[in-house]
Amino acid sequence: MNGAIVYCSQTGFTEKYARWLAEDLGWEAVAYADRGSVDVAALDVLVFCSWFHAASIKGAAWAKQAMAQHPDVHAVVLATGATPPPDSGWSSEDEIEQAFCRTFPEEECPNLPHFYCHGGFDFDRLGAIDKVAMRLFFRMLGKNAEHDPKAREMLDIMREGFDGTSRECLKPVLEHIEGFGKH
Ligand SMILES: Cc1cc2nc3c(=O)[nH]c(=O)nc-3n(C[C@H](O)[C@H](O)[C@H](O)COP(=O)(O)O)c2cc1C
């Protein structure tokens, strides 16, 4: 199979997953800025990796356009976020699913394989606008933290920064992609 991984990453967590996938699949990982160099029509599989930004996924418009223009190419989406994964008990499948569906609605992208992998948070590496957005978010969390211990814990984790990436998280993604070769 011939594939490519296009990744959109600001602080490096999504890039880490994209590079792991590239290593495991033997495909190229291409930064979003260089997406024009990818000949999507020549691929069997396009993996789009990006991150959750205010409950939508960065760079999704390009991915949706590529999928619409090349319906014969298998597309897979991997998104990272700061939200702890459902098996941690912090979030629910539904929450994550809704966030995916907002960006890739079923009517527009039917049966799109999509995966959530825990990313991380690194305030210092954010762009100026996102720093402002996160300061506002922290302020809101701070208010909630007065009566909600979960918000308190989340605020502490985010302020401190964390790396939640794990190669294990890619197992279902790799299994799914390997499945394409069997049909
Ligand atoms: C402005 C902003 C909004 C964010 N919104 C969300 C969100 O809605 N859900 C979520 O889980 N994570 C959210 N995050 C966290 C990022 O998705 C997370 O840090 C991600 O792993 C960053 O990926 P990157 O290192 O590849 O840039 C947000 C981060 C920023 C800076």
Q: Using CA positions, which residue lies closest to atom 20 of ligand 1?
A: 81
d(CA 4, CA 141): 38
| CATH fold label, 3-122+163-180 | Rossmann fold (3.40.50)
What is the position in ligand 1's atom list of the atom closest to the CA of 56? Answer: 8
Q: Ligand 1 pocket test: pick from 53, 101, 134, 159 the residue with the most ligand atoms within 8 Å of its Cβ.
A: 53
Q: With bands split at pLDDT 50, 70 and 90, how would you rate the model's confidence at 183?
A: low
Residue 16 Cα: closest atom of ligand 1:
26
Question: Would you give the DSSP letter of residue 81?
Answer: E
The per-residue pLDDT for 170 is 98
- Domain segments of the chain: what residues? 3-122+163-180, 124-160
Burial of residue 124, with CB atoms counted within 10 A of its CB: 0-12 exposed, 13-18 middle, 19 or more buried: exposed
**Strand-strand pairing, 162-163 and 120-121:** antiparallel
**Which pLDDT belongs to residue 95?**
86
The model's pLDDT over 146-164, given as tens digits with 9 standing for 90+, comes to: 999 988 998 999 999 999 9
* Probe residue for ligand 1, chosen from 80, 129, 154, 159 as the CB with the greatest number of ligand atoms within 8 Å: 80
pLDDT tens readout for residues 33-91: 999 999 999 999 999 999 999 989 999 999 999 999 999 999 999 999 999 888 887 77
pLDDT tens digit string along 88-135? 877 778 889 998 999 999 999 999 999 999 999 999 999 999 999 999
- Residue 51 CB–ligand 1 contact under 6 Å: yes
Q: Residue 26: is its pLDDT beyond 90?
A: yes
CA of 40 to the centre of ligand 1 (A): 27
Cβ 165 under 6 angstroms from ligand 1 = no
Q: Is 127 strand, coil or helix?
A: coil
**Residue 141: is it exposed, middle or buried by C-beta count within 10 angstroms (0-12/13-18/19+)?**
buried
